Structures are given as structure tokens and as C-alpha cells.
Structure 1
Amino acid sequence: MATYVLVPGMCHGGWSFDPVTERLRAQGHRVIPVTLSGVAERSHLLTGGVNLDTHIRDVTALLEAEGVEDAVLVGHSYGGMVITGAAGRAPGRAGALVYLDAVVPSDGDSCWSLVRDEERRWYADVDETGYAVRTLPFFDPRATPHPIASVLQPLRLTGDLSHVRRRDYVYAARWDGESPSTVFHDRLRPDPAWTVHSLAGGHNLMRDTPDELVRILLDAA
């Protein structure tokens, strides 16, 4: 049986993966959904000091505490930043990476640098605290503001990712309008080091296409 560690996108908690978590657990797999510091039910931890490094530590500390080895790290949207950093810092504990309509960073990239001006305008509209990105109207009602420092901080990879045996990119083909993930899909599709998929759902693939997504996750393991 495989171990899956599920990292959500901005403003959301581990509950955003519920349809996938239920299906994977029903097949006997170990599934650990993560809620990052300062977000959702952990919003009480939100301070100006919560950044990308904090979120990477959230995941690496969990891997260590749970004794996880050869995990499939799954990152949705902003979560692609986190799983990349965690894989670099915990090489014995991450065996595969799956990016769900996510950003795919290299060393020195930030989420801010990888997205379009449209997303940057959203990030810059911080809430009254001055250090959190507001939720959007169509988000899950459980969503909360997200630490802006985490999208501004560049990723510093502390090791290469040569130990990762498999990398998958899952592209959401039914965005309402132009998808900011197209640039990653088009760049990775011809790369033999990647397995690229396209699903007929919106950005929240866990909700829109859970059965198809679970099949991809099972194959990635």
C-alpha cells in the first residue's frame, strides 16, 4: 500500500482533498491530508512570519513524525511550491511528486514569479492585517486568507531531486477562461522525465474529477 501526502492550494485546508482521500483510503492506502500553517483551521497561526519555508517545514516535520518513506507528495496549485521544497529537504521520504494544476518551481522561483499579472493583482490585494491574501468569492466557505509571504519567498532547494522516481503533472483542461497552468503543461508534456495528464475539470480537480484523479494517483505510486 502507498502513502500519499496531500498539500492544498492557497487558502484551503486538507479537507479540500476529501473526495480523493476517501477513495484512496477505501482501497487501503495511507493518506495524510495537510493543512498548512496560518490557513483554514490553522488560521490562528497566521503571522507575518509564516512563509514558504514554514510550509515546507510543515510537510517535512510531518514526514519525519509519521515515519513516512517513499511517499507520493501531491500538491494542488500553490502546493506545487511546497512539495518541491519538501522533496528536496527530505529525500528519503519522497519517492514521487504529483502536481495538480500546480506551479512547478525551480531553485530561485517564487509563486509570485511563476504566475500571471492577474494572479499577482489578487495576491497584492491583502487583507486588513497587511500580510494575508484575501479569499476569492467562489472559494469553499471554509477557506481563509493566505500568508502573502509564502507566495513572495523564493524557493531554495537544498538538494537535487534525482531521487524522485516519478513526476506527474495533471492539467485541468476546463478552466473558465485562459488557464495559468497552460505554460507548465506545454513545457512538461514533451519532457520524458514527466508523465503529463489532462482532465476535463476545472482548477479544483479533486472535486470535479475525483475518480479519474485517483486512477492517476494509483498509477503514480
Structure 2
Amino acid sequence: MARFVLVPGGWHGGWAFDAVSKVLSSEGHEVQALTLSGMADEISTRVNLDRHIDEAVRAIRRSDTRVVLVGHSYGGMVITGAADKEPSRIDAIVYADAYVPNDGASVWSLTTQSYRERFIAGVAADGLNCIPPAHLDRRCRPHPIATFLQAIKLTGNWRSVPCKAFVAAFGWEGSPFVELYERLRLDPEWVTHRLDCAHDIPRLAPEALAEILLKSV
């Protein structure tokens, strides 16, 4: 049995992985899909990237069993930071159309101008929480803008995780991840996959993502 810790993207909670979790659980694996601070019904004014990383680290430390750590979109920032702190507890780290930062990077620095404009418009109401784009699921919640702006602090220890995989979604325009996929597929330390769906891989291609995750254990 493997243990999976799943980290959703911006504006989403652990519910975004429901279909993926169902497949993994049906195969007898332990699954924990995180809803990070500020992403439940409450709106928080004191949440940054460091706090989200610490929450993922606590999930990893909950058991002595090594984990497969999975992040979608913004979740790539969180899983990189958590893996940097606990690389010896992680068997694989999987990025599902997600940011893969180097030290000092942020979502703001890594994303496209169109997403920056979306962040600016979304945070206009209170300057703290970015409202979800209108096309997203009604369960989405305002996302603490500090998590998008804060620069990540990394030692590079996360690169020692034995299996590193990137899953790119090629079914949408304006992706900030296609260029990253093209670079990583030439790197022998990475395994890469491409899916013909839009950005929300966990909800649009849950079976395909689950199959990729099961191959990583």
C-alpha cells in the first residue's frame, strides 16, 4: 500500500481530487487530499506560501510511511517547498500542470501576464484575497494573494526525491506550463506525460492522472 498526499491548485480545496482519490483508494492506497488554510469557508488574512508548505509538511509527517506527493497548478509551489524540507520521506513528487520553482521564485514570477492581470483584478475588493475566476467550480473560494506573491525559499534538497514526474495538459490556450514540459522532457531526472485536456487535470482526467500516480509507486 502506498500513501498519497494531494495538494490542489489555486481557489480549490481537497474536493478537487475526489475522483482521483476514489480510484487510488479503490486500489487499496491511503489518500489525503488537503484543503489548505484560507480555502475552506473562512477567509483568512494571515496565510502565505510558507504556511501552506508547513501544512503539507505536517501531512507528510503524520505517518512513518513514505509518500507520493502530488500538486496541481499552484500546488506545485507547495509540494516543492514540502519536499525540500522532507525529501527522505518522499518516494515520488508529481506535478500536474503545476509550477516547478527554483529558489526565490513565486507564482507571480513564474506565471503569464494574463494570470497576473487576473490576480490584480481578483484582489481588488480587499487587497488580501483573490476571488476565483467566474468559470471555475462554484465550490472555489477566494485565495490568499500572499501565497501567489511570496518568493519560495529552497535549499535544493527536493531534487533528491527519487522519482520526479510532470504531467502537462495540452488542451487549453495560454498555458504557462507547456514550455516547462518541453524542457523537463529532455531532462533524464524527470518522467513526463502529456494529456489532451484543459488545465484542471484532477477533475477533467482523473482516471488518467490516477494511472500515472499508480505507476510512480
TM norm. shorter chain > 0.5: yes
> Residue 42 of structure 2: SS of its match in structure 1?
helix
Paired residues of 2:8 and 2:74 also in contact (CA < 8 A): yes
Q: Could you say if the C-alpha distance between residues 92 and 134 of structure 1 is closer, same or farther in structure 2, counting changes exceeding 3 Å?
A: same
For 1:10-159, list aligned pairs within 5 A: 10-39=10-39, 41=40, 43-44=41-42, 46-47=44-45, 49-64=46-61, 66-125=62-121, 126-159=123-156
SS at match of 1:92: helix
Q: Secondary structure at the match of 2:88?
A: coil
Distance, in Å, in 1 between the alignment partners of 2:159 and 2:36 is 26
C-alpha deviation, 1:91, in angstroms: 2.2
Normalization by structure 1: what TM-score? 0.94
Give ranges in structure 1 of 5+ residues lacking alignment.
none
- TM-superposed CA distance for 1:215, in Å, is 1.0
Q: Which runs of 4+ in 1 moved over 4 A?
A: none
Q: Distance in 2 between matches of 1:205 and 1:68?
A: 29
Quickly say closer, same or farther: Cα 1:3–1:187, change in 2 above 3 A: same
The alignment covers a number of residue pairs equal to 216
Residue 62 of structure 1: how far off its partner (Å): 1.9
Q: Percent identity?
A: 44
Q: Name the SS of the counterpart of 1:44 in structure 2.
A: coil
What is the aligned-residue RMSD (CA, Å)? Answer: 1.3
Q: Secondary structure at the match of 2:160?
A: coil
**Counterpart position of 1:203:** 199
Report what 1:219 is aligned to: 215
Give, in angstroms, the shift of residue 217 of structure 1.
Answer: 0.3
